[in-house]
Amino acid sequence: MHILLVEDDVGIAEPLVEGLQRQGYDVTWVRTGREAIAEDPRDLVLLDLGLPDLDGEMVASRIREHSQVPIIVVTARSDEIDRVTLLDLGADDYLVKPFGFRELSARIRALMRRVSDRSTVADQEIEVGRLVISHRTRTVFFDGEEVSLTPKEYDLLAFLAGDPGAVLSRDEILRSVWDEHWWGSTKTLDVHIASLRRKLGDPDLIVTVRGVGYRLTESPE
Ligand code: CA
């Protein structure tokens, strides 16, 4: 497995590279946002937010333009971190400095588990009304047009589409789409629902069930 480490602080990067390599990961280490964007990340990106040239947020969104690679954001800004923005940019998880190596490697394993769960769903395609979701390629089509979603938006939509018409509770959705390590603001879910509605262009597709959760309608053909 190959990890792209984006970290300008040598004192943090060197022991990280060493530790990750000891665990059997291949690591490419770059110190700037520009170098990170130029790389072709394969299995995972560990991204420091405080970089000398570009904002880490910008780097994450640039990577997301061409890659679905899992991203773990590393930040020293525990208080100011804008979690909703990070989510929207497609970060999958985050760590606040200083963190222990064991915590990092647990997060990496959890994230890789989630990713491989996604891919073992294999060649399945779900059709719900005008919506087609292909698990194998993680692509979504609405009325025949491909809709570009962030990884989390995709996971959320795929989860709702797994049981179309059923009311899924907020807890259920948060547990399945995010995991127990997630920072757990329930606003996160609403932000993603709003963004899905906007991107799909049909606000009635996902119905809010007050006090409970959400339901995907089987919209008429
Ligand atoms: Ca830094």
Of 119, 134, 157, the domain-final residue: 119
CA of 140 from ligand 1 middle (Å) equals 36
Q: Are residues 176 and 206 in the same domain?
A: yes
In a domain? residue 221: no
Q: Are residues 32 and 80 in the same domain?
A: yes
Output the pLDDT for position 180: 53
Q: Are residues 133 and 161 in the same domain?
A: yes
Q: Are residues 141 and 34 in the same domain?
A: no
- pTM of the entire predicted model: 0.57
In a domain? residue 45: yes
Q: Are residues 48 and 130 in the same domain?
A: no
In a domain? residue 103: yes
Output the pLDDT for position 154: 93
Q: In whole angstroms, what is the distance from residue 192 CA to residue 114 CA?
A: 19
**23, 49 in Cβ contact below 8 A?**
no
Of 101, 119, 137, the domain-final residue: 119
Q: What average pLDDT does this structure show over 182-186? A: 60
CA of 192 from ligand 1 middle (Å) equals 28
Q: Are residues 115 and 100 in the same domain?
A: yes
- pLDDT at residue 102 tops 50: yes
**92, 152 in Cβ contact below 8 A?**
yes
**pLDDT tens for each residue of 3-13:** 999 999 999 99
- pLDDT at residue 184 tops 50: yes
In a domain? residue 156: yes
In a domain? residue 112: yes
**pLDDT tens for each residue of 19-30:** 999 999 999 999
Q: 21 phi and psi, to 5 degrees?
A: -65, -40
CA distances 58 to 52, 76, 180, Å, are 12, 17, 27
Give the count of domains, the chain: 2
Output the pLDDT for position 55: 86
Percent of the chain scoring above 70 in pLDDT = 87
In a domain? residue 113: yes
Q: In whole angstroms, what is the distance from residue 215 CA to residue 133 CA?
A: 16
Q: What average pLDDT does this structure show over 103-127? A: 76
CA of 4 from ligand 1 middle (Å) equals 15
Domain holding 91: CATH number? 3.40.50.2300
Output the pLDDT for position 92: 84
Ion ligand 1: residues, Cβ under 5 Å: 8-9, 48, 50
In a domain? residue 142: yes
Q: Are residues 93 and 143 in the same domain?
A: no
Of 119, 143, 178, the domain-final residue: 119
CA of 146 from ligand 1 middle (Å) equals 37
- Pull the structure tokens for residue 208: 């809010």
- pLDDT at residue 182 tops 60: no
Q: Are residues 129 and 98 in the same domain?
A: no
Q: In whole angstroms, what is the distance from residue 195 CA to residue 21 CA?
A: 38
Q: What average pLDDT does this structure show over 141-165? A: 91
Q: What average pLDDT does this structure show over 130-148? A: 89
> What pLDDT band is residue 221 in, cutting at 50, 70 and 90?
very low
Residue predicted with more confidence, 184 or 88: 88
Domain holding 158: CATH number? 1.10.10.10
Q: In whole angstroms, what is the distance from residue 212 CA to residue 54 CA?
A: 41
CA distances 19 to 5, 23, 44, 116, Å, are 12, 6, 15, 23
- pLDDT at residue 204 tops 60: yes
Domain span at residue 12 reads: 2-119
Percent of the chain scoring above 90 in pLDDT = 44
